[in-house]
A and B are shown apart, each in its own frame.
Chain A
Amino acid sequence: MDNQEKQIHDLLQKRMRDKRKAKRKKAHGDEKAALNLNSMMDMMTIILCFLLKNYGQEPIKVLPDMDLPFSTSEVIPKDMTTVTITGKAIVVMEQQVVPLTDRKVDKTLKKGGATGLIIQPLETALRDAVEEQKNFARQTKGEFQGEMTIIADVETPYRLIAEVMQTAISTEFKKFRFAVIKNKFAFSGAIP
């Protein structure tokens, strides 16, 4: 009788040991460890949305080989015809139109030679731009504004800017905007 009881007791103890072993194995054993990426995914989604929102918002694109002047102006740029004056060329809507040598237009490209104010290749390109703007205005039943943004390098001589503007006036552009980098007054060039 005692023997039987002892056997049962041993059996029960063995079973409990097995159970414990199995539990331990389940907790630490064969299962693969997985990273919890949820919070990181949340963060990434927010950053992605923020960057996508900012992407391509700028209506003005500055070419890499030029510096814009600093200014205190707070007027927000609009999407319109842009003329970029770098150190080497005049670019209309991302297409190079006039090459520059030493920040000057070659006199053979101007009406009236060296003292002329109308740059001929630029005039042709701007006439196309005017035509495009007028078509757009007609289709959207708006009015032709004749607005232009001039993105000029900080060292562009005034003569060249005046030539570009005079050429633009001759092709029906009326309102001009200069693109600048917004900054405090102290940093608009002269630092005391």
Chain B
Amino acid sequence: MAKVREEQDFGDLDLIPIMNLVLILIPLLLLSVVFLEITVINVTMPQKSLGAAANAGEPPKRLQLMVSKEGFWIIQGERAMPTIPECQGRGSQVTICLRDAEAKEPIDRYDWLMLYNTLLSIKGDAMWSDHEQLEVVAGADISFGVIVKAMDTSRFQRVPPGNEDASKGTSFSKPEDLYDSTVVQIEGTDEETGATGLRSLGLFPLVVLGLPTTQ
């Protein structure tokens, strides 16, 4: 009986100082939380001497994408794709013209749909079907955002939503369809983690950045 009374007299813990502390900590931590998820893109840049020495025999198979202020110019190996004279503003050669030369944001000026369709048709060619590397060369003034977008466009093969189990990507006729599309998923092994399972089907996922052109 005496013991019970002792316990009753002990009373509640005074939690108010702890509550004060917690109440201050929560807004402090909430402020520092980053709600944007940051990821990275792997790229390489060719080293001047190394590339030449390694491929002394036959010339290396290269797929180049030149980004200039007038549009894209694609070079397959030794052969440049046919150029379009109408949209060569300042003399640089262009395979894909700008979509909207007057757009405010530089990224909106380029024809990403046409770039995707062209790269996909190159991938469909037997000569390039197992090629994964795309050399991106841009003019000195081209902004970083445009280069990232070019890398995004050339990374995966895409299909309309709901067809992720297709064997290869399809071309699109409208920009809206391209933006609504999803990436083709195939069975395979992830090169980085070694895990088997579904993975995204690449178009030209390995990006090598070249030195800027002077145009």
Distance in Å from the Cβ of A84 to the closest Cβ of chain B?
12
Give Cα A37 to B12, complex, Å.
Answer: 11
Q: Is the CB of A158 within 8 A of B140?
A: yes
Q: Is the CB of B26 within 8 A of A44?
A: yes
Contact for B22 among A44, A165, A181, A184, CB less than 8 A = A44
Q: Is the CB of B45 within 8 A of A169?
A: yes
Q: A2-10, A22-30, A67-75, A121-129: which one contacts chain B?
A: A67-75
B155 at the interface (CB under 8 A from A): yes
A178 and B40 contact, Cβ closer than 8 Å, known pairs A44-B22, A169-B45:
yes
Main SS of chain A's interface residues?
Answer: mixed
Tally of contact residues, A, Cβ under 8 A: 57
Residues of A within 8 A of B (CB): 34, 37, 40-41, 44-45, 47-48, 51-52, 54-55, 58, 60, 62, 68-77, 117, 149, 152-159, 161-162, 165-166, 169, 174-182, 184-186, 188-192
The 6 A-B pairs of least Cβ separation, nearest first, read A189-B107, A186-B179, A51-B29, A159-B140, A177-B40, A154-B145
Q: Can you identify 28 A-B contacts, CB atoms within 8 angstroms? A: A41-B22, A51-B26, A71-B41, A71-B152, A72-B155, A75-B39, A75-B42, A77-B40, A153-B144, A156-B143, A159-B140, A161-B147, A161-B209, A162-B45, A165-B45, A176-B43, A176-B45, A177-B43, A178-B144, A181-B36, A181-B39, A182-B37, A184-B179, A186-B179, A186-B180, A188-B149, A189-B145, A192-B176
